[in-house]
Amino acid sequence: MLTRRILLLSASTILAVRGLPSSPARAQNLDQAAAFIAQTGTDIVTVVNGPGSVADKQKQLQAIIDRTVDVNEVARFCLGRFWRTASAEQQKEYQELFHRVLMINITGKIGEYQGVTIAVGRAQPREGGIVVASTVSRPGNPPSKVDWVVSTESGSPKIVDLIAEGTSLRLTQRSDYSAYLARNNNSVQVLIDALKQQASQPG
């Protein structure tokens, strides 16, 4: 179910902005978010382009994702209104499966990103968090514009979305899930079972 566009994360909730901070604090948050994405991009590029086996790179990349992405929040957003209808047990299982499938999609195609570079641009406050612009380049492919949506509500920056060439990955994923659920009597369990199948596939 997770679309291949999430692979741009190799680096996947419009969060309500609870009032903008004062100008000095806002500037500090913007600088923090930009530095966070710059470091995350450097870490990703170092792993993808560096030495080591595919298995070693997958482990290193998974550690980066676990550290920098608010996976549980993204999972909740992607399930949308159905999160409230799921039981506590289903919510827990769904989040675990979402995380596993996300990792499979991101780490399973490391070889396709050899030679990747990430150039980080400016950060701007927008609804949904702080958006940090970047350009992702790979040999033989045109550069891609990728905006990283960063939330600082937890006290430390976390990635909560990617906007690839103007398309929000978490909004796209939520739309995919909603359409799938609509075809299956709005059954969260059916979605969970489908994610189980995906999670059982080799990375």
Does 192 have pLDDT greater than 70?
yes
Answer with the residue of higher pLDDT: 17 or 78. 78
Nearest to 132 by CA among 108, 158, 111: 158
- Contact status, residue 48 vs residue 57, Cβ threshold 8 Å: yes
CA distance 17 to 118: 27
Give the per-residue pLDDT at 110. Answer: 80
More confident residue, 152 or 41: 41
Per CATH, the architecture of 4-9+21-199 is what? Answer: Roll (3.10)
Measured CA to CA in angstroms, residue 29 lies from 69, 123, 153, 174, 176 at distances of: 17, 9, 11, 28, 32
Two structure tokens written together for 56: 């070693």
**pLDDT tens track for 181-191:** 999 999 999 99
Q: How many residues does the chain have?
A: 203
